[in-house]
Amino acid sequence: MSDEGLSHFDASGKAHMVDVSGKEITSRVAVAEGHIVMSPATLARVEEGRAEKGDVLGTARLAGIMAAKRTSDLIPLCHPLPITKVALELVTDPALSGVRITATVKTTGQTGVEMEALTAVSVAALTVYDMTKAVQKDMEIGGIRLVLKEGGKSGRYRRAAGRVLAQPVTARLTQPPFAASAMDGYAIWGGAIATGDSFDVIGEAQAGRGFEGTLSKGQAVRIFTGAPVPKGSELVVIQEDVDRVGDQITVKGSLGEGDNIRPAGGDFLKGAEFAAPRLLKPADVALLAAMNIAEVPVYRRPEIAIISTGDELVQPGEEPGPDQIIASNAYGLAALIEAQGGIPRLLPIARDDRASLEMVFDLAKGADLVVTIGGASVGDYDLVGQVAAERGMDRAFYKVAMRPGKPLMAGRLDGAMMIGLPGNPVSAMVCGTVFLVPVTRAMLGLGAAPAPRVQLALAEPVEANGPREHYMRARIAQGRIAAAKRQDSALLSVLASADALLIRPPHDPARGTGEKVEAILL
């Protein structure tokens, strides 16, 4: 086996640390993941805090964070780096019968932090094992892998789609940089020809290798799509319109319209501006690459922690007890956030006690936005607002005159924005559409704006509305909108079948078929 190209070996075959002093200092991020599988009984001990050695998840999180920061001490040939952030998430997963671990590490430096992220996951998994091995020794650690590496000079275009361009960029060249053939055929001297004209073929031009000479009267060059048009030619005749015998062609039949030449700069000119902010589509990425933009400046994706609350909740895949239901809201909101470009962090379910809420709020630290689901109402076990206030939450408002979704609150907590959503499934998803989506877009750099509305004609009448703005689940057919017959805020099946929210203003009178109403498209 040859050592050629292995950057950590010198000429004599000895291992050495790669010199990164010539590399550009850039923001870099790496995300790694892994898991540890255990018996359901052991997992229950971890979830309920009954492990003999204490808080397994909290301790493993701290151990992983500390290990990430000391990776250069633990692993040879790793550069010591100024770590700017380590976020470690440990989530119990009944379907796996174990704990899933995700680490995000950030730095501003000259090399990446993938080893730091992998170290954090590995040490966290080992810590979970060490703290629970007294009850089970055959646990399995696996799936440790790097899932994202960003920063530096490599791979930026592959991750630009779906991101928001942070600042305008300008084309570094003209495209095409020369007049190019739009077809396979023959570049003819001059620009005026007629059926029966003959020309001597004196050379060939192909993409990447043009014809260097200049055409004279009666001459032609065989040319292929994308090749530079030679000097002296103002017309490309497609190959189907000529007969060739040896090195001579004769124009036949009726000639098509146009010169079959793409002019220099026909796509864009050097210095052309690509405006920002802009949510980048795949076609935008292709255009930026064609403009020879070496790196695409994009806004950072916001990390949004999602906390479900309530003793009645169990994770999908678990068998709910007689008084329990599945925690579905968090997964719907995570999908909503991901679709907008945010990074959702699903945290463990917070039970209806202060200690559990405190622990999960601690796990949410480092997020840009914390979203709680349930527990913000006025019941005896609705503790989210109380615990958040005790932790110093600066509340902006509580309750909104809308349905579904009245018990909604917002403010700032532990340096992050916080939104408390109602616990009813439809209420949470509707409020996610009305409030969470615009907030996510604003954090992505797309500006502050409410969810866009459209006007549609009613397919059937609606009754007068009450004192709160009503977001009715509805269907659109043939350009008209009809509210669903059932509007209970617990009916996810109705929401799933809807493709719009029909908006009724407060005290809006009854409306008849054909009248215009506002709606938010889903």
User: Looking at 55, 130, 267, 508, which residue is catalytic?
Assistant: 130
Residue 350 has a CB neighbour count (10 Å cut-off) of 29
User: By three-state DSSP, how is residue 328 classified?
Assistant: coil
The CA radius of gyration of the chain, in Å to the nearest whole number, is 31
The answer for residues whose C-beta is within 8 angstroms of residue 419's C-beta and 6 or more apart is 369, 370, 371, 372, 408, 409, 410, 435, 436, 439
Q: How far apart are CA 430 and CA 472, in angstroms?
A: 9
Catalytic residue list contains 353: no
In one-letter notation, the amino acid at residue 175 is Q
Q: Count CB-CB contacts under 10 A for residue 72.
A: 16
Single-letter code of the amino acid located at 171: A
Cis geometry, peptide bond prior to residue 263 (ω within 30 degrees of 0): no
Are residues 18 and 7 in contact, defined by beta-carbon separation less than 8 angstroms?
A: yes
Burial of 76: CB neighbours in 10 Å, binned 0-12, 13-18, 19+: exposed
Residue 355: strand pairing partners: none
Judge whether 101 and 34 are in contact, CB under 8 Å: yes
Taking phi over 0 as left and psi of -120 to 50 as alpha, with beta for the rest, 392 belongs to left
Q: How far is CA 211 from CA 171, 188, 201, 232, 460, in A?
A: 27, 13, 12, 11, 69
What is the distance between the alpha carbons of residues 361 and 88, in angstroms, rounded to a whole number?
Answer: 14
Within 151-262, strands assigned E span 164-165, 169-170, 180-181, 185-189, 198-205, 219-223, 233-238, 242-245, 248-251, 261-262
Q: Which uninterrupted H or E stretch holds 85?
A: strand 83-93
Q: Name which of 253, 257, 249, 256 is nearest 187 in CA terms.
A: 249
| Mode of pairing for the β-strands spanning 261-262 and 248-251 | unpaired
Distance of CA 387 to the CA centre of its chain: 32
Q: Give dist(CA 216, CA 219) in Å, integer.
A: 6
Give backbone dihedrals phi and psi of 321, rounded to 5 degrees, phi first.
-75, 180
| Residue 122 CB partners (closer than 8 Å, separation 6+) | 34, 67, 141, 144
- Enzyme catalytic residues: 130
